[in-house]
Amino acid sequence: MKLKLNPQQQEAVQHPINSPLKVIAGAGTGKTTILTYRFVQLLKGHPDLKPRDILALTFTNKAADEMARRIVELAREEGIIGSPLDFTGLWVSTFHSFCGRLLRENAFEAGLDPEFEVMDELEARLFFHHVVDDLFNLRIPFSPDDYPDIDFTDTTLFYRDLFNFILHLKDRLISPEDFKRMSAAGREGFREKIRRLRESHLLERIPPQSRNALLRRLKSLEDQLRYEREMEEVIYLIYSEYQRRLAEEDRLDFADLIFRTYELLSENDRIRERYRSRFRYILVDEFQDTNEAQFKLLKLLAADERMSNVTVVGDDKQSIYGWRDARVENVDDFRAEEWGGRSLDITKNYRSYGEILEVAHHSITLDPDFARKAVKLEPELRGYARHPRVHLIIAPDRSTEADFIARSIRDLIEGGVKPKGIALLMRSVKHAKAYEDALRRERIPYLTVGGVGFYDREEIKDIICYLRLCLDPSDDQAMVRALKSPAIGLNDETIYRLRKADPESLFRAISDAGRLKEEFGGDIVERLIRLRHILLDLNRLIGKGDVSVYQIAKWVIELSGYRLLLERLPENESIRVAANLRKILYLAGRFEAKNIQRRTPVSGRRRLEDFIGYIRFSIESEIGEEEAEVEAEDVVRIMTVHQAKGLEFDVVFVVNAKRGIFPAFARVPRLMFDEEDGLLINFKRDNWKPFKLD
């Protein structure tokens, strides 16, 4: 439906085509409307311009699909679509999808197989995990004795911190060779400063006690530099091997998509000029979320150094992805006015009541970075309400807060507010349990978006424990879960007695269940024998060389008794459990499909190990999976502030707003990189504190 633009929006839409434009659009001011109308206005004002000549970039597939839909709809209303075919090949996508499309179009020149696979973050973590495993198991040429200062038992450093660091390097377009060269130069420069200080006459001029303290500090710094040199070599080894294996299996991670596209365009003049000519105009949404590599890529695609054919829309106050290397400074670095264009502020808000905007403005101006430049938004549509729209609730603890919120939501629902119009926003869904429990007590339907909501369901925990037992029957933690699952149904007391019967292993106890009949009774022994048969059947299945993870998961669901359990559950719960069981099968099938494409075939056991590792990474990283939705559920949403970006609800509870949790304390990474100083390590040892020689 065609909208009437306000004067601010109209000015942005009508801005000349050959002049850079930066639009600072606050929340709810219609930035998608501006981009949509500007896209169509460019087509209206320049009949020779075709839809495929305009590149529009945003940050989620959902946002890209919505923008494309609105562009086609508006173009139809404006009468500028001669045929639906006019809009085939539309370049409206995320940065990563755009780069994937460009690389496939130029796969030969980029040194890629056109059928390359793009791994999501969890798949990339698992892939990286195997590289580190091979390093530790000496399957990669490497001698730990060459690195005496490194603690190779620090799995957090090698599996988590190092993976994040390598992605950070890629987001800054730093290859393994660049890292090695720049780190060595930075370290040697620092060592030279220490040498000059030792040789200078300055040490002779300070008191002996201070001089000795400084000399001890310099010795500590030299030890630190030795450790950094060792870490540089190990990081280079792992980073290089990770990239080599990705290339060997025709895989790219998300960071590679941007990096390889940048390399292609910067090194191949012909291809760069072809795409510069193809995209006569470029629109970028959520510009505050771009990282260093994305901005540099944009500069390669732009018509000239003044970015004269580029419009960016963003809001530095909405920059919430710094932890993903988003660089809010890009907003200031896009100097539209200096390059002969315009910078416009859009201040008329169509989403919120005035009281909400007042509170938001007051809060943001408490930050020194925004105190002077924060532009106040005006409530254009809703105005100011007769009753308070913002409430501050102070509770002594999280449980009390959760109970109060659940009762408040119950009152709202009874007053006519639909559950799907209500959201609980928090910093991390790992804090969601207290609120989930409170909502359950009030019988309020809810859905935890993302996080580990799916993996926290009882039926999914049971299925995962059986999958773990397929690999290792002596996994007592998984065995306890299996003994309590619907197919067996033992209570804690019986499991405790079973453990006492054989302290070494629960699996050994059930393997010889017949001898326990006198102590436990025939019914219990019969259940133990049933579990033993289930595990033996699963073991036979996984022993087949061609078995898939999907097949194993399907057998587990059948053998674990969940099919029969569904018949005994209340209808609503049965539907939800069935949907979640279908989802675990879908995830197993999707995982299997991706792994079939591997050049090096792996056994069913190895694929199952990888799938369980994938699930573990999903839980630990909080990327997770949400519960399977049953159609369009009318439920309260529990989500993070990041997941809620761009969404609207009738009522929002911002929960667990506690210092150190929300907002969270900034966490300094253990591994950092500076282009001048090279590798920087956040040492936790007291005698190695940050120190800089100028």
- Segment 156-172 mean pLDDT: 94
Indicate whether 411 and 476 sit together in one domain. no
- Cβ contact 346:26 at 8 Å: yes
State how far the Cα of 211 lies from the Cα of 29, in Å rounded to an integer: 61
- Give, in degrees to the nearest 5, the angle at Cα 191 between 185 and 192: 90
Is 619 within a domain? no
| pLDDT > 70 fraction of the chain, expressed in percent and rounded | 91
Q: Per-residue pLDDT for 580 more than 90?
A: no
Distance CA 201, CA 204 (A): 5
Domain count, the chain: 5
Considering the domain boundaries, does residue 691 fall inside one? no
Q: Across the chain, what does the average pLDDT equal? A: 86
Residue 378 is encoded by which pair of tokens? 């005006």
Do 419 and 431 belong together in one domain?
yes
Are residues 505 and 572 both part of a single domain? yes
Q: What are phi and psi of 408, to 5 degrees?
A: -65, -40
CATH number of the domain to which 405 belongs: 3.40.50.300
What is the phi/psi pair of residue 656, to 5°? 55, 35
| pLDDT band at residue 450 under the 50/70/90 scheme | low
Whether 437 and 483 share a structural domain? no
Answer whether residue 340 shows pLDDT above 80.
Answer: yes
- Domain presence at residue 466: yes
Q: What is the mean pLDDT of residues 629-652?
A: 81
Indicate the helix (H) or strand (E) that contains 523: helix 522-542
CA geometry: angle 122, 123, 124, nearest 5 deg: 90
pLDDT beyond 80 at 451: no
Residues 308 and 363 occupy one common structural domain = no
Helices (H) and strands (E) in the chain, counts: 28, 16
Question: For the segment 276-335, what is each residue's pLDDT rounded down to a tens digit?
Answer: 999 999 999 999 999 999 999 999 999 999 999 999 999 888 877 777 788 989 999 999
SS (H, E, C) 198-239: HHCHHHHHCCHHHHHHHHHHHHHHHHHHHHHHHHHHHHHHHH
pLDDT classification of 686: cutoffs 50, 70, 90: very low
Q: Judge whether 422 and 442 are in contact, CB under 8 Å.
A: no
Q: What share of the chain is helix, strand, coil (3-state, %, to 5)?
A: 55, 10, 35
Mark whether 446 and 470 lie in a shared domain. no
One domain for residues 244 and 262: no
Predicted confidence (pLDDT) at residue 199 exceeds the cutoff of 80: no
Residue 467 belongs to a domain with what CATH number?
1.10.486.10
662 in a structural domain: no
Residues 243, 180 contacting (CB under 8 angstroms): no
In this structure, are 167 and 220 located in the same domain?
A: yes
The more confidently predicted of residues 348 and 692 is 348
Residue 659 inside a domain? The answer is no
Domain hosting residue 648, numbered range: 398-451+632-654
State whether 163 and 283 are in the same domain.
Answer: no
Q: Residue 407: what are its φ and ψ, rounded to 5°?
A: -65, -40
Question: What is the spatial distance between Cα 423 and Cα 430, in angstroms, rounded to a whole number?
Answer: 16
Phi and psi, residue 446, nearest 5°: -145, 165
Last residue of a domain, one of 542, 576, 592: 592
Between strands 422-426 and 378-379, the pairing is unpaired
